[in-house]
Amino acid sequence: AVKVVELQTIGVSRSFGGLQAVNRVDLAVHRGELRALIGPNGAGKSTLLNLLAGTLGPSAGSIRLGDRDITRTPVFERALLGIGRSFQVVTLFEGLTCRQVLELAMQRDVPARRWASPSGAAGIRRRAEEALDSAGLASIANEESTRISHGLQKRLEIALALANAPRVLLLEEPMAGMSAEERVSLRDVLRRVAERSTVIFVEHDIEMVMSLARRVTLLHNGAIVCEGSPDEVRHNPVAQEVYLRGER
């Protein structure tokens, strides 16, 4: 099958004052790929993710979604074009069940007269159930979103990001603060997600990265120093020198 480039940066840079956080990065992520961005603290991973999401603009270079230039496209328009990003549930939705949280997220992109109608409300409820199911959360649909465990809240974040069926899903440290069991469970969820969306994630858990990602991009001092399959990156001398040696 022909590989289609879903999201691409061409010579993208971002500086903050005198600091070059991202330095002439060329990144091409194919449709349906699970791509990990790794690297030491200060490597530019989060900045690159923010550039892809649109919460930051590049100092130089361009960003493309499919064949469309989105370099100057604001966050809300990128969301409508299909770039989803996980966001914190906890501060947003106290008092709502997991299902209600998802229904609320889905109403965002639908005109009020449509979701206020019985058939519109039923459609949103059905889509909310599907998103909960795809994140492995069907059994806690009626539990209050702020009272479930940290690991389940992280999965609810991902279900929220999936609510509007994004082409590309951006995740920042989805495994952070999870138990070993929760990480394995989330890994399975992300594999299912990648059957429908392209996933780009920043993650520090190297074992989880190597068992989940199809391709790994290693950043150091704002630049890509190495890229390839998990196996290629693991055995790359540059990767071992700048990052992996300290992770073993």
For the stretch 13-43, pLDDT in tens is 999 998 999 999 999 999 999 999 999 999 9
**Side chain identity at residue 63, one-letter code:** I
Task: State the Cα–Cα distance between residues 193 and 212, nearest whole angstrom.
Answer: 12
Spans of the chain, pLDDT less than 70: 1, 87-93, 109-112, 114-115, 246-248
DSSP 3-48: PPEEEEEEEEEEEETTEEEEEEEEEEEETT-EEEEE-STTSSHHHH
Q: Phi/psi at 2 (nearest 5 deg)? A: -75, 130
pLDDT for the residue numbered 248: 46
Q: What is the DSSP letter of 170?
A: E
Task: State the Cα–Cα distance between residues 242 and 93, nearest whole angstrom.
Answer: 40
Do 122 and 130 meet the contact criterion of CB atoms below 8 Å apart? no
Task: State the Cα–Cα distance between residues 181 and 187, nearest whole angstrom.
Answer: 10
Cα angle value 67/134/52 (rounded, 5°)? 30
**Side chain identity at residue 19, one-letter code:** L
For the stretch 71-112, pLDDT in tens is 999 998 998 899 998 765 545 567 899 999 888 888 776 666
pLDDT for the residue numbered 127: 86
Residue 83, helix vs strand vs coil: strand
Contacts of 239-248 with CB under 8 Å at 24 or more apart are: 242/39, 242/40, 242/218, 243/38, 243/39, 243/40, 243/218, 244/206, 246/40, 247/206
Strands 68-69 and 60-65, sheet pairing: antiparallel
pLDDT for the residue numbered 207: 92
Strands 168-172 and 60-65, sheet pairing: unpaired
Residue for token digits 């199809």?
214
At 239, list the tokens.
């990767």
pLDDT for the residue numbered 119: 81
pLDDT for the residue numbered 11: 98
Task: State the Cα–Cα distance between residues 203 and 37, nearest whole angstrom.
Answer: 7
Q: How many CB atoms lie within 10 A of CB 187?
A: 16
Task: State the Cα–Cα distance between residues 146 and 118, nearest whole angstrom.
Answer: 28
